[in-house]
Amino acid sequence: MGFHCSHCGRHHDELPMAFAAPAPDYWAPEFAADPASELTSDICVIKGQAFFVHGLIEIPVVDSGEIFSWGVWVSLSQDNFTRALKLWDTPGREGEPAYFGWLSTELTLYSTTTINLRTNLHTRPVGERPSIELEPTDHPLAVEQRSGITRARVQQIAETLLHPGAR
């Protein structure tokens, strides 16, 4: 099901149900040359001192039964990161307790910063990206994760992200 875009006036064939950040906000291109730094689609290490995992904040779309996902990065302690990597390809890893972390992706659609929101990262079966549960606060992103959003809100997000700078 597509939508008529209020930003460009055209019909888009599909309503995107996911957006993802390619790296934690702390990553800089020059880190790619640092042997103690690494960025893949799943993990990030910065100078051997900061450790991140890519996961999904999933938000129910209440009027469609679908799920909208933010692909974001969460910082973990070195111990939790090491444990998560050790079990990365291990069947049953989803039985692992959640790992505490800090949200490390700025979602600029929210009026209050999303950086350093408290999270729990839940591993899932091998091959599935971890899910990220936000601490139940009054932050708009946490409220949306708990309460869900409408397709109209998904369209608003899509229009803003597909046409940055449009008013």
Asked whether residue 122 is assigned to any structural domain, the reply reads: yes
What percent of the chain has pLDDT above 90? Answer: 86
Task: Report if residue 26 sits inside a domain.
Answer: yes
* Domain contains 120: yes
Three-class SS state of 116: coil
Q: Into how many domains does the chain fold?
A: 1
Q: DSSP class of residue 129?
A: P
The pLDDT score that the predictor gives to residue 4 is 87
In this prediction, residue 104 carries a pLDDT of 98
Q: Which domain holds residue 38?
A: 17-162
CA terminus-to-terminus distance, the chain: 24
Tens of pLDDT, residue by residue over 112-143, are: 999 999 999 999 999 999 999 999 999 999 99
93: helix, strand or coil = helix
Which single residue is written with the structure tokens 């995107």? 16
Question: Is 1 domain-assigned?
Answer: no
Continuous segment of H or E residues that includes residue 152 = helix 151-162
Residue 167 above 60 pLDDT? Answer: no
User: What is the biggest distance separating any 2 CA atoms in the chain, rounded to whole angstroms?
Assistant: 50
Residue 29 inside a domain? The answer is yes
Degrees, nearest 5: CA angle 134-29-49: 55
Cα dist from 114 to 33, 65, 83, 150, whole Å: 28, 25, 26, 21
- Under a CB-based contact definition with an 8 Å cutoff, are residues 98 and 69 in contact? no
pLDDT tens-digit profile of 33-55?
999 999 999 999 999 999 999 99
Flag whether 7 is in a domain. no
In a domain, residue 9? The reply is: no
Q: Kindly report whether the global pTM for this prediction surpasses the value 0.85.
A: yes
Q: Which residue has 């679908």 as its token pair?
A: 66
**4 inside domain:** no
